Amino acid sequence: MASGHNLGTVISFEFWRTIKKPSFWIATLSFPLMFAVIFGIVYYSSKSSSDSSQKLAEERFSIEYKDDSGVVLPIVAEKLQAKTIDNKQTGIEKVKSGQLDAFFYYPGDLGKKNIEVYGKDSGLFDNGKYSAVAEQMLKTSASATIANPKLIAVTQGAVSSDVTTYKKNGEVSAGWMAAIPPLLFLVFFYFTIAMLGNNLLNSTVEEKENRVTEMILTTLNPTVLIVGKLIATFLAGLVQAAVMITPAVAAYFILGAEAINLPNADMLSRLVVDPTAMTIGALLMIGGLMLFTGTLVAVGAIMPTAKEAGQYFGIAILLMFIPFYIIMLILSNPETLVVQIFTFFPYTAPVTALLRNAFGSLSVSHAAIIISMLIVLGTIIILLAVRLFRYGAMQYDSRLSLKFLNAKKR
């Protein structure tokens, strides 16, 4: 009862302490801010380019052309008020002298030679209009010649394919649509450790740096303190996730999915949520969080200062990134020895197994082994962290030595 009360008190204190820190909000807001800036740039450039295209479409300029390919139809050229001439050099000279805005030369063998476009300089960006019109004249003419909508679609690349693949058991493989939902656990795992791991590490070192440990140890079970810190970190991670996705959600509802290149409702409905993969993903994430956060607390208990502890945080991040160096191997050939080692080595297991789970190459039996390993090892590391905290925090100015730990262990 008392422990429960104290756990709530610790969670509340540590949670508010974390989210009141300016560094928390700098880290949290930098992502949506960056998202907003990138979105703003994309939106602006997209709008500008659309405006420019419209302006170009409406703009009229004098054109002459010589067609040795025989593809360009006079009727198409006439619509653009383009006139044909017999001599290529004459066209070029007219452009040079300013009598003509643009001259296009279509060579006899379009498969081997490029269209030659000559134009009056209208600035770096506007000069693109000449080649756009030259190519459009050719495409429109070619399509009109084919006079078959299906063939036109093929020649213009407007054809896509629906792929259906089958697993070994004959079930239809859902591909990316099945991989995305379990991958969300990997994203949450990454963000929690990358953005809050350092905070967790520092909050443990802080007890020592502030000389507050003795007061704590005589009022509070250290296990309650450590578990409280871990839960508070998890909750702060949820706040961070909510803040980060809010701009995307707001933009989705205000501007629509297409405006911000997010999947629309139709695409979302095609996501395949496999309960087994999701359960395994959630358990792998929890096990991974237990192992990494427990390790960070243990490091915090050993190190005398936040600065020294920070170096070890870098190693934790590195271990999380290492599996991505062999991601192609993980996805294409998960049975190789290297992937197997990464799958079962505790500190690379969470990321590797989460990836393999998402892409369907992790068997349930292997997943069970890895989850058990992570949860058992995570629990042991957390218990060790509690012990290290109890004794390491009493060595205020130096690292915890094994000799000291042996002298004081219960």
From residue 8 to residue 27, the character string flagging contacts with other proteins as x (rule: CB under 8 A) and all else as - is: -xx--x---x---x------
Query: DSSP of 363-376, one letter per residue?
Result: -HHHHHHHHHHHHH
The CB-of-242 to other proteins minimum distance in angstroms stands at: 24
Nearest alpha carbon to residue 135 among 106, 100, 101: 106
Q: Hunting for tokens 């080692």 — which residue is that?
A: 341
* Distance set, CA 233 to CA 12, 119, 154, 228 (Å): 11, 62, 54, 8
* Strands 172-173 and 165-166, sheet pairing: antiparallel
Q: Is 150 in the site for other proteins (CB under 8 A)?
A: no
The CB-of-313 to other proteins minimum distance in angstroms stands at: 19
The CB-of-6 to other proteins minimum distance in angstroms stands at: 6
Q: Is 384 in the site for other proteins (CB under 8 A)?
A: no
Only one of the segments 115-123, 348-356, 359-367, 390-398 lies at the binding site for other proteins (rule: CB under 8 A); that segment is 390-398
From residue 199 to residue 238, the character string flagging contacts with other proteins as x (rule: CB under 8 A) and all else as - is: -------x---xxxxxx-xxxxxx----------------
Q: How far is CA 139 from the centre of its chain?
A: 38
Calpha distance 65→124 (Å, rounded): 23
> What residues contact 346, with CB distance under 8 A and at least 6 apart?
291, 373, 374, 377
Q: Is 2 in the site for other proteins (CB under 8 A)?
A: yes
Phi, psi dihedrals of residue 106, rounded to the nearest 5°: -100, 110
Q: Is 90 in the site for other proteins (CB under 8 A)?
A: no
Q: Hunting for tokens 């070890």 — which residue is that?
A: 312
Contact between 65 and 137 under an 8 Å Cβ cutoff? The reply is yes
Q: Is 394 in the site for other proteins (CB under 8 A)?
A: yes
Give the nearer residue to other proteins in terms of CB position, either 129 or 390. 390
Q: Is 398 in the site for other proteins (CB under 8 A)?
A: no
Q: Is 60 in the site for other proteins (CB under 8 A)?
A: no
The CB-of-181 to other proteins minimum distance in angstroms stands at: 40
Q: Is 410 in the site for other proteins (CB under 8 A)?
A: yes
Q: Is 307 in the site for other proteins (CB under 8 A)?
A: no
Give the nearer residue to other proteins in terms of CB position, either 145 or 221. 221
- Count of chain residues binding other proteins (CB under 8 A): 31
* Distance set, CA 108 to CA 70, 111, 113 (Å): 7, 9, 8
Contact between 351 and 287 under an 8 Å Cβ cutoff? The reply is no
Calpha distance 307→227 (Å, rounded): 23
> What residues contact 345, with CB distance under 8 A and at least 6 apart?
none
Nearest alpha carbon to residue 189 among 354, 33, 24: 354
Give the nearer residue to other proteins in terms of CB position, either 191 or 404. 404
Give the nearer residue to other proteins in terms of CB position, either 51 or 214. 214
Contact between 385 and 301 under an 8 Å Cβ cutoff? The reply is yes
The CB-of-372 to other proteins minimum distance in angstroms stands at: 31
Q: Is 399 in the site for other proteins (CB under 8 A)?
A: no
Q: Is 312 in the site for other proteins (CB under 8 A)?
A: no
> What residues contact 188, with CB distance under 8 A and at least 6 apart?
237, 241, 285
The CB-of-239 to other proteins minimum distance in angstroms stands at: 19
The CB-of-12 to other proteins minimum distance in angstroms stands at: 9
Q: Is 145 in the site for other proteins (CB under 8 A)?
A: no
Q: Is 408 in the site for other proteins (CB under 8 A)?
A: yes
Q: Is 112 in the site for other proteins (CB under 8 A)?
A: no
Calpha distance 351→190 (Å, rounded): 9
The residues that touch other proteins, with contacts defined as CB under 8 A, are 2-3, 5-6, 9-10, 13, 17, 21, 206, 210-215, 217-222, 390, 394, 396, 403-404, 407-410
